[in-house]
Amino acid sequence: MRDPIPSLAERVLYRDGLVLVIDKPAGLPVHAGPGGGPNLEAGFDALRYGLPKPPALAHRLDRDTSGCLVLGRHPKALRRLGRLFSEGLAGKTYWAVVTGAPPQDSGTIELALRKESRKETGWKMVPDPAGQSAVTDYEVKGRGADLTWIEFRPRTGRTHQIRVHAAALGCPVLGDPVYGPKPPRAPLHLHSRAIRLPLYPAKPPIDVTAPPPRHMLDALHACGYSDSLSPHAGRGLG
């Protein structure tokens, strides 16, 4: 039987004394749920690299979102990273393949969000002017027959922000089981493509890029993506 927790050491994109960036696989939650089960944190002990304790999450990605995930290697690092994320200083870039197309090739979505819970259907995020501010910039990168490849750059970090904003544009993320057509016709096509961390005042920002996951490649190629556009970021792995 295949181990449900991948070898995380093989998925490290960047490492230095404070931070690790790993390429999170789609389909694996970062935390154990109420019922337990496989989760990303269960594999963090393999990422100690000589430190007494394993790293911890500096932010989160949804279970079915892949790509750049930042870990702090000790409490001091987590405090510094926490400030970057809470103050909106961490630059986040996501790639998505959506169904349909947005009305314009680029723009900014400003749509406040709040969490809505229902016994019958569980919780989801919904647009609400009284909710938390949520702002996302987007740019079309390529088009297919009925699909569009979009780069999203969220300025805020609300739960499900990109997924709700894409649906509000009239082009939900392909495979989204909550905000897209039901049943979804594919796995979720949302990927944390890159992260920029201005962590050290006297040094350039840390820039890390994650290659697209295998399950997104066919749809990306249909929208004009080329594998030559997917470099690995390897700085700091010494």
Domain limits, the chain:
8-226
Q: What's the whole-number mean pLDDT along residues 126-142?
A: 97
Res 151: pLDDT: 98
Span 203-215, pLDDT tens digits:
999 999 999 999 9
Banded pLDDT at 236 (limits 50, 70, 90): low
User: What amino acid is encoded at 156 in this protein?
Assistant: T
Q: Which amino acid is at 209?
A: T
CATH of domain 8-226: 3.30.2350.10
What's the rounded Cα separation, in Å, for the pair 80 and 72? 9
Please name the residue ranges forming H helices in 55-205. Answer: 75-86, 161-168
Taking alpha carbons only, the member of 140, 145, 161 closest to residue 218 is 145
pTM over cut 0.85: yes
Q: What pLDDT sits at residue 4?
A: 59
Average pLDDT score over the chain: 92
| Whether residue 137 lies in the annotated active site | no
Given a cut of 50, whether residue 5 has pLDDT beyond it is yes
Phi, psi for residue 168 in degrees, rounded to 5? -65, -25
Name residues whose C-beta falls within 8 Å of residue 190's C-beta, 6 or more positions apart in sequence: 62, 64, 65, 66, 94, 95, 96, 162, 163, 173, 176
Write down the residue that tokens 């932010």 correspond to: 59
Catalytic residue among 3, 23, 45, 62: 62
Say yes or no to pLDDT of 231 above 70: no
pLDDT, one tens digit per residue, over 86-132 is 999 999 999 999 999 999 999 999 999 999 987 777 889 999 999 99
Residue 132: both structure tokens together: 């938390």
Number of Cα atoms under 13 Å in the Cβ half of residue 107: 12
Q: What is the pLDDT of residues 15-74, one digit of tens each?
A: 999 999 999 999 999 988 777 789 999 999 999 999 999 999 999 999 999 999 999 999
Distance (Å, rounded) from C-alpha 138 to C-alpha 148? 12
